[in-house]
Amino acid sequence: MPIHIAAKAFFEGLASVPGGWAVFKIVSSLGLIYLLKWYFNGAVNTSERNMHSKVVIMTGGTSGIGAEVAKQLAQRGAQLVLLTQHPLSDPFLVDYIMDLRTQANNELITAEHVDLANLHSIRKFATKWVDNAPPRRLDMIILCADVRMPPGGGVGGKLGRTKDGLERSWGVNYLANWHLLSILSPAIRVQPPDRDVRVIVGTCSSYMGGVLPQFEPETSKGPKANRPTKKSEEKPAATPGSAYATSKLALMTFAIAFEKRLQEYARPDKQPMNARVILVDPGFTRTPGMRRFLSFGSLWGLALYLFMWPVWWLILKSADQGAQTFLYAAMEAQYGRGKGGVFLKECREMKILKGEVQDEEAQKILWEGTEKLMVGLEKESALKRAREKAEKGETEDDGKGKKLAGEGNGTAGVQQRKK
């Protein structure tokens, strides 16, 4: 029957079949949607690797793309250490870890409390990890954490600042990763020469719109464009979009410089360096961060997002599809030896289109400026903690003093009445 109808339509035209044109339009539309969805879904990772016994530190592993990467690696037997801003006693985190262990049939999944918006929190974890004898095993660091302020949210708003007073995109997307890798670098360099060590850094194609910041001498708040000003003078020097692009450009520039420094390191055992840095662009994905960005961080924007959800479903990847290039970077054999500093997108190598990323002079200026910036920030943070501790101690002493004074007066009064 279908063959007869098809033959009739072919020889006599669609008009000879009842409803032929309507069926043709529906089938054509569905076929077009399928092709568009297949195109926007991107490439699928086909590489496999035995991840049993591999120790992996991850940021952003509790939501979005990072959660899918964590799930896939856990299912392959990796030992995961998830760095999360949630307190370790948070019921959400406890349930998440337990569910992930059950789904992956893997008990080697733990979490550490590390707030990427707080440089002191990063230092506490990283120094604890490094200060260990013998050195801890470390096979991979995957940096999936990412923050992007919604349009119209303002760079200088209260929610747009880290605990160190930095613009949030700059602080979390760039400085937090710089701080973490800088402190963990001894733990990376000390790994045995036969171990395949990979540092996978998540980025975004928006880096092409970024401009590397100009550091001011003796600055304590970061690049000139991102320094907070007095309230009376507060005029954001950049839009959330440009701030995000700058943070990604700086992160990529640092990552390539970090790769070069690793390769220049002379191991005591005279063996070649076995650590590689890999840049990954997962593409545009339906993550909580993307939803917040597209909804402008507002209720009416969320309503518009829901109304347009069929469009977002079509052109944006799912979290699982966005994780594919991260998995490819983690498991593809050719990146385990002799090949680092590559930029991957859709499970294949891509050319970096921004010259500053591979410019050695730009890398040097950024690195030295960030080092000075970090010294200033950590000094300020230490002084702030010392003041808070002193104030807390004075309050406690005052309270005890008042309590003792009260007890003394009461005792004196009793003794006087006895006399």
Inter-residue contact 314 to 33 (CB < 8 Å): yes
- How far is Cα 92 from Cα 187, in angstroms, rounded to an integer? 30
What does the alpha-carbon distance between residue 419 and residue 414 come to, in Å, rounded to a whole number?
9
In this structure, the chain runs to a length of: 419
C-beta atoms surrounding 59 within 10 Å: 24
Q: In terms of Cα–Cα distance, which of 130, 95, 177, 137 is closest to 370?
A: 177
Q: What burial letters (b/e) apply to 164-173, b meaning 16+ CB within 10 Å?
A: bebbbbbbbb
CA Rg value for the chain? 27
- Single out the residue of 81, 207, 201 nearest to residue 137, CA to CA: 81
DSSP single-letter state for residue 190: T
Provide the annotated active-site residues: 248
Task: In whole angstroms, give the CA distance from residue 146 to residue 188.
Answer: 23
Cα–Cα distance between 157 and 348 in angstroms, integer? 38
